[in-house]
Structure 1
């Protein structure tokens, strides 16, 4: 399956590897869910070579959706690209009860796996974290991928807690967005049976170096070709090209972060002619000056053409 890139873990029935974007949730101008365009974005990245899709991650704005909207979004993405690439649906919530309900729904839609962010808002001890994953994994017959992003959840998993969670049947891997390289390196070393996915665009090639079999890249939502090229260069053994492309990703990432939180991806998609609508309030898109500056940066980096910059006007 892979040549020079790390293989997925033996306990991962999906064999997740490569580029798995955390696809966006599209909204109409009035911020109502646009399920059809949400599905079209999954199609956009799949047609450009990604190896899987992850709806309802952070870029999917999942905390801002109702339960019904979450179900509709997952159904739309599975209907559009299910069977072509693995669809691993985000199902995390503050409570175990709600997380289980989302996971059971995702299984009923035909999703291939579920991504379970650590519960958020309330502090969580090791026993609570392990019990949470035990209940979710027991509720579905799907591979479960832990989503570790302590900067957003307030809950960091210790390596000891991860060892207990890794022993749970159906737990197949972990998406790490902690940006804690020593933690990730030790986790990969201790659990070769699991699939690890690097969850930050700042650690795509470095994550592969550490043993991650794939990357969950926000940049790949807008520029899937760039990140797929990086992964393929790495897998072909061309580390120098992979490093050069990681450098481009660094610059694209910096450009996307120039405005309000998470505004860059949907703004960049608009510059490419793909209108995913606004972010849901209180999040917001870039203003006109920020959008123009982003367009200049992306054109200078060679990831958009001058003709693209006017395709949505």
Structure 2
């Protein structure tokens, strides 16, 4: 779940400081509003590659959760409320890699009620090609005491360019007899301003866990990532994501990933659909 980008106070103040927010790690920047629509950007590069050198769709998670989540946030009833993601759907229309140097998401609010909003966005690369379409069911929650109402901060420090997605997450999935598992540990760099795991981090980690079930990951790409956020995911003691294959075909593979604290109730339930690159 993500109520939007982090507050300026949470960001490092020097270029050499290690990024301590999901937005900083995943190169998300450039929040702009023009009327009812929003615009947000993400820088591309080799950091989008996994350990095997294969670009992965899951790296879009923080970028796109922020893009649609920010739209929900702008429709909240008052400053005493924040917004959280309850269901995030990412349909990747163009397999990676994508033309850089940046991707652009333009979002809008499709409908809004007193309880939440349904928002969407479209992502294009630097050639103007459509990379993905995204939708989000978000809901309003009372802002916890001590958590400030955030405002977008355009100054995102550049992380170490040698860090790839698995290093950014801080964990790598392991294949098991039944699927795969990833144990996620970390601190503020994985959290939203409420102190829970950022919804985009969960989306990325779910896709990475699902990819570990593939026999030849280089021949597949994640064409859709759908995550239900059942309850907030705490940062500690440890978040475990478990993948199981629903269907393994010649051109389509579907994987379910359930996440939550080790030994606790599930917090997220994701379905990742992979398609062959040929």
Same fold (TM over 0.5): no
Of structures 1 and 2, the one with the larger relative CO (CA 8 A, separation 6+) is 2
Bigger radius of gyration: 1
TM range (shorter): under 0.3
Using structure 2 for the length normalisation, give the TM-score. Answer: 0.27
Query: Which structure has greater strand proportion?
Result: 2
